[in-house]
Amino acid sequence: MSDEGGIGVLVLAGTPIGQAGDAPARLAAELAGADVVAAEDTRRLRRLTADLGVTISGRVVSYFEGNESARTPSLVEALLAGQRVVLVTDAGMPSVSDPGYRLVAAAVEQGVRVTAVPGPSAVLTALAVSGLPVDRFCFEGFLPRKAGERARRLTALAAEERTLVFFEAPHRTEAALAAMAQAWGDDRPAAVCRELTKTHEEVRRGGLRELAEWAAGGVRGEVTIVVAGAPGGPTVANDPESLRSAVAHMEEAGVSRKDAIVEVARAAGVPKREVYNLVHSS
């Protein structure tokens, strides 16, 4: 409970990504003992506490993307008044593609202690079951929704040699995989992990084009995509036809010619002027 006369503590509490039984014992204790529980979805919180057999005695407030900025100051006030604030999101660790970063940053700025209850993570779970290299990886969160911005991001990642992990909405999974295949090659190994730890858990492995064709049949549930990193060296061939084609693909996706030339030159490891000349001489 509250630390009378002193500064409180912010607890980032990881919650199950599927089965309630995966929750650590400490999660129940933190929820029961909190002065304030800030939840991304209070209805999901009620379901979780029912599954855990926990009764929350403190104040429960909503804390989601739409009210993060407005609610953060009042939560910092509670912390400065000595209260213990527990932050939970719908699944996984707060602030990892979920609400939380603003509150953590504001708490740290005020000298508030920030700690965490480690819990299940869709990023690490998908990485572990993907069958792809796990020694070095990077998490890219959600890709941009607009085709042009997505193509620009993927081209910028073309030379990334670490395994890449993405979150994606089920209805955008096919488009994301198709864009990856176009940017990185049809045969780049990948895995689509959906409904991790849940009853209908499924992991599909294969080349990006193959997975895009599978996703065309419809995808349901929470989706995490894991993609093998680029092989060493440039990932866009530097022959004239490949360079022109790469720029054309980006332009078709809505990227300006200027930006496409810059990104393709970087990915191919050639001077920007060389790509410019090739494109404008065709």
Backbone angles phi, psi at 266, to 5 degrees: -65, -45
Share of the chain above pLDDT 70, in %: 96
pLDDT score of 49: 95
pLDDT for the residue numbered 4:
47
Whether 282 shows a pLDDT value over 60: the answer reads yes
The bridge status of strand 9-13 relative to strand 84-88 is parallel
Task: Report, as an integer, the average pLDDT of 262-268.
Answer: 82
Which CATH number is associated with domain 9-120?
A: 3.40.1010.10
Q: Which of 93, 118, 108 is nearest to 9 (CA)?
A: 108
- Whose tokens are 């993307």? That residue is 65
Mean pLDDT of 172-182: 96
Q: Would you kindly state where each structural domain of the chain is located, as residue ranges?
A: 9-120, 123-227, 240-281
- For the structural domain made of 123-227, what CATH number should be given? 3.30.950.10
> How many degrees, rounded to 5, is the angle at CA 78 between CA 72 and CA 82?
140
Question: Which pTM does this prediction carry?
Answer: 0.77
Exposure string (b/e) for 2-26, b if CB count within 10 Å is 16 or more?
beeeebbbbbbbbbbbbeeeebbee
- The string of pLDDT tens digits covering residues 178-209 is 999 999 999 999 999 999 999 999 999 999 99
